[in-house]
Amino acid sequence: MASSIGKLRVDQSLDARGMEGPATYSQAIQRLQAMAENDVLELYIDEGGPLLTIPFGLRAEGHEIVVSEPANRGVRLLVRKRSLLT
C-alpha cells in the first residue's frame, strides 16, 4: 500500500501517537525490520519524550530520518530503512 508524497514513496505508515515511549520505539523497529532496504516508513509520534528519543534511536540503528514535520497532534517522520551493515 505504497503512496507518493512529492517524489518520496511511502511504503508503510504507523500511527504511534498515544503509545508509551518504549512501545512506540518497539513498534517502529518491528515495522522497519519487516520492510525492504530503502523503503520509507511514515511514522506519527507524540511531541515531548518520543520526539526526543525515537529519532535518535532510529538513527543509531542506521535508519535515515528524511522528513520531520509538525502534524495534527504530534510529529510526522518519514524514515528510510537503512542497515548498519552494507
Per-residue pLDDT of the chain (86 residues; tens, 9 = 90+): 455 445 789 999 999 999 886 888 999 999 999 999 999 999 999 999 999 999 999 999 999 999 999 998 999 999 999 986 64
Domain residue limits, the chain: 3-80
pTM value? 0.87
Burial class (CB in 10 A: 0-12, 13-18, 19+), 36: exposed
Alpha carbon 9 to chain centroid, angstroms: 14
What is 3-80's CATH number? 3.30.110.40
